[in-house]
């Protein structure tokens, strides 16, 4: 094989195995177990929703996808696109593939948007109705997260993910790094909170997200069972891991080469997972209007304030 072919095969291996699809799904299942355990510890066994292994009947079941519902190609392809996009995000964050913040955001848009489009393409009115709610949830994370990414790029002067991680490796965790002074630190702290809130919606967690594990399923999930449903569940599980991974990589100093730094990175990811779990366990699912107010309004406003403060800090 030529050198070019080897590089191509290597990149495919990254996307499929490590740190791509397989790695993301294994870590996502671990995050799911932590979240389920946190919910059980806080609320007892009587909390709403299935247990960590509650999806077993989905994957074991033979499919019953109705002819009158979503197009067959849509229900098979959209979850695969989502998982593939999130695997690519994981590869970029962990430094196995190169990519800038715009590509990262675009992949996240594709991943989250695939669910919305699948629901809206369905001829099932119940699926379509939930599709619009998912669209509100989509805007609740996309708008504030885009502004938070701008604040990160402004603070670091870097547009690549590896550049942002390298900046933090040299100067420390972003909210505490001295570069840019107090205004920049306050701005990044605001952006961090906005990003955390937006990741709740991105991962489909309560109160801002539309989930398939913790309440009565709606949207495209009402249309499918069997293998397509398992693929959708895989997409949600992948998002559960990508959300804390992004927060740590962009704001809390992502993974670096030394062994002790990897241990710290794992601990930071675990901490963010725990915070997301507590938010999910103690909240009720918000309605579309509340999601818009708290996502686009509160988190978006906080992200804009963070961007302005960061700009003032960096400029002065």
Partner 1 sequence: MSRLRAGLLPRVAAFHLRLGGCGGCGDMVDMLLRGAGAGRLGVAECGTPRHAGLLVVTGAWNRGQARAAAEVVGQAPGSVRVLVVGDCALGGGPLLEASREPESVCEHVSADLEVAGCPIEAEEFMEAIRRAAR
Residues of the shown chain interacting with partner 1 in the complex, contacts defined by CB under 8 A: 33, 36-37, 39-41, 44-47, 49-54, 56-58, 60-66, 216-218, 221-226, 229
Q: Of 232, 241, 243, which is closest to residue 114 (Cα–Cα)?
A: 232
Residue 151 Cα distances to 102, 154, 195, angstroms: 13, 5, 11
Q: Of 180, 190, 172, which is closest to residue 155 (Cα–Cα)?
A: 180
Q: Closest approach of Cβ 287 to partner 1, in Å?
A: 17
Q: Are 199 and 141 in contact (CB under 8 A)?
A: yes
Q: Closest approach of Cβ 145 to partner 1, in Å?
A: 29
Q: Closest approach of Cβ 21 to partner 1, in Å?
A: 24
Q: Closest approach of Cβ 77 to partner 1, in Å?
A: 19
Cβ proximity to partner 1, 218 vs 313, nearer residue: 218
Cross-strand partners of 160: 100
Cβ proximity to partner 1, 175 vs 204, nearer residue: 204
Cβ proximity to partner 1, 46 vs 259, nearer residue: 46
Q: Closest approach of Cβ 48 to partner 1, in Å?
A: 8
CA distance 285 to 26: 26
| Residue partners of 225: CB distance under 8 A and separation at least 6 | 58, 61, 63, 64, 65
Cβ proximity to partner 1, 48 vs 98, nearer residue: 48
Cβ proximity to partner 1, 36 vs 78, nearer residue: 36
> Tokens 């906005």 label which residue?
194
């Amino acid at each position: 094989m030529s050198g070019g072919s080897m590089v191509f095969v290597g990149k495919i291996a990254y996307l499929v195995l490590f740190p791509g699809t397989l790695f993301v799904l294994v870590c996502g299942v671990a995050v799911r177990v932590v979240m389920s355990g946190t919910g059980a510890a806080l609320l007892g066994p009587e909390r709403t929703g299935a247990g960590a292994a509650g999806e077993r009947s989905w994957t074991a079941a033979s499919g019953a996808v109705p002819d009158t519902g979503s197009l067959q190609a849509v229900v098979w392809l959209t979850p695969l696109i989502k998982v593939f996009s999130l695997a690519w995000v994981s590869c970029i964050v962990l430094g196995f593939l190169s990519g800038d913040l715009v590509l990262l955001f675009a992949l996240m848009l594709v991943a989250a948007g695939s669910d919305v489009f699948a629901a809206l393409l369905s001829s099932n009115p119940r699926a379509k109705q939930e599709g619009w709610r998912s669209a509100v949830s989509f805007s609740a994370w996309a708008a504030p997260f885009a502004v938070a990414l701008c604040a990160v790029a402004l603070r670091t002067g870097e547009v690549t993910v590896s550049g942002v991680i390298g900046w933090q490796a040299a100067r420390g965790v972003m909210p505490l790094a001295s570069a840019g002074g107090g205004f920049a630190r306050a701005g990044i702290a605001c952006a961090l909170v906005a990003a955390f809130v937006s990741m709740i919606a991105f991962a489909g967690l309560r109160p801002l997200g539309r989930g398939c594990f913790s309440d009565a399923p709606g949207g495209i999930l009402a249309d499918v069972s069997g293998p397509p449903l398992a693929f959708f569940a895989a997409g949600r599980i992948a998002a559960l891991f990508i959300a804390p991974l992004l927060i740590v990589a962009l704001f809390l100093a992502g993974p670096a080469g030394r062994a002790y730094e990897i241990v710290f990175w794992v601990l930071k990811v675990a901490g963010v997972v725990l915070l997301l779990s507590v938010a999910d366990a103690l909240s009720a699912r918000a309605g579309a209007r509340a999601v818009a107010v708290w996502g686009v309004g509160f988190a978006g406003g906080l992200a804009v304030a963070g961007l302005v403060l960061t700009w003032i800090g960096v400029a002065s």
